[in-house]
Amino acid sequence: MSLLVKGGLVFVNGSFVKKDILIGDEGEIADIGASLKGDETFKATGLLVLPGLIDPHVHLREPGDTYKEDFVTGGKAAIAGGFTTVIDMPNNKIPTTTNARLDEKKDLAKKALCDVLFHFGGTDDNFAEVKKANPASMKLYLGHTTGGLILRKPDSLERHFKEFPKNRPIVLHACDHSENEAENLKETYKSITCFLSLAKEYRRKIHLAHASTAHEITITKSYPLCTTEVAPHHLFLSTKDREKLGFLYKVYPPLRSEQERIMLWNSLEKVDCIATDHAPHTIEDKEEGAAGFPGLETSFSLMFDAANKGLVDKEWLVKAMSENVADIFNVEGKGRLRKGFAGDVTIIDPKKEWVVERTELQTKCRWTPFQGKKLKGKVRTVIKSGKVVYEDGEFV
């Protein structure tokens, strides 16, 4: 049956306009216009109608660490946060570095409520597996991470840059894990400079993950084929939150100084996309020093609340969390409300005021560094492939 989304302010061609959207019975957008008719009608009066959001950077922990998260709980967290598509990272406890492991992940992810795509991990010796898997994107690590994916041989790094198809992005993890901030930033900038040098030599697309300082953005924007993402926790938290967060505080890249946080905000218009870097850990793991924050269910509302306060342009924000991500990672038929595209729609109540409460989260870890934060703007309804799957906090 077709579904008509009627009477909302629809984000089309970079701006909000009052339109109706008709999603056909095959789950694709059949028409966008006025006075349309469908078998069923969803009244969106007073609501903002967005393309289904896309998150390019999540850690859903399956296989290997499903006690932290899995594709079912992670998929629900994504939908509750307005994301209809996510791209999962390869650095699991069981890393995604072979074709067989990628196939296993694809099969496991079929149970997710959202669409799950995958970055493939590059190592010092898996060149044949990269060719066999033929992934849409690859992640390279120059800093320590779960799964032992750090590249140790400069020749291996260069070979991946040379052999991976140039029209597909290589995602760069340049974060150093030193606890000394000056040393951390020095090594991070050094890694980015190395990546950019190779990218320029081989004239290829690259994408910098989780930029946490304005200087990283300045460096990367010197190369037109480099895109950049920022995670909301680096925009809303800083070292001044250390005492408040206690043992939850640790994350990579680490939270920066308050001055760096403000400078990052001032550079945000140069950033290509917002990524959650959703990295759930249990409370017990955090007590033992695990690094990472969950973010799928708070990221959009944090950013939209900032837009309500005039800190960021709403139109820029929607693009940074939908169509820009689709363009960077070649996600066809998603990221825009357009005839023939997927009927994935995120509907926002722009006036809804709410308080972040960990007990209401879908993520398996059930905590957030934004506990108790008051926000304005909330995901009201999510439509996936033309079907309402989430409405007013409940899964349909």
Average pLDDT, the chain: 96
CATH code of the region 3-49+341-357+372-395: 2.30.40.10
Amino acid, single-letter form, for residue 1: M
pLDDT at 353 over 80: yes
The residue count for the chain: 396
pLDDT at 329: 98
pLDDT at 183: 85
Region 39-48: what's the mean pLDDT? Answer: 97
The pLDDT confidence band at residue 176, using thresholds 50, 70 and 90, is: low
pLDDT at 145 over 70: no
- Residues annotated as catalytic are 277
Amino acid, single-letter form, for residue 392: D
pLDDT at 178: 67
Residue 154, preceding peptide bond in cis (omega within 30° of 0): no
Query: Cβ–Cβ contacts within 10 Å for residue 103, how many?
Result: 12
Among 264, 237, 265, which residue's Cα sits nearest to residue 251? Answer: 237
pLDDT at 142: 84
pTM assigned to the model: 0.97
Among 313, 310, 318, 306, which residue's Cα sits nearest to residue 347? Answer: 318
Those residues with Cβ within 8 angstroms of residue 63's Cβ, 6 or more apart along the chain or in another chain: 92, 93, 94, 104, 105, 108
Calpha distance 231→252 (Å, rounded): 11
The pLDDT confidence band at residue 57, using thresholds 50, 70 and 90, is: very high
The pLDDT confidence band at residue 149, using thresholds 50, 70 and 90, is: confident
pLDDT at 290: 96
pLDDT at 64: 94
Calpha distance 324→326 (Å, rounded): 5
Give percent of the chain with pLDDT exceeding 70.
98
pLDDT at 297 over 90: yes
Per the listing, tokens 């969803």 go with 42
Pair type for strands 170-173 and 387-391: unpaired
The pLDDT confidence band at residue 48, using thresholds 50, 70 and 90, is: very high
Region 271-281: what's the mean pLDDT? Answer: 98
Region 70-79: what's the mean pLDDT? Answer: 98
The pLDDT confidence band at residue 251, using thresholds 50, 70 and 90, is: very high
**Domain regions of the chain by residue span:** 3-49+341-357+372-395, 53-328
pLDDT at 193 over 80: yes
The pLDDT confidence band at residue 147, using thresholds 50, 70 and 90, is: low
CATH code of the region 53-328: 3.20.20.140
pLDDT at 219: 95
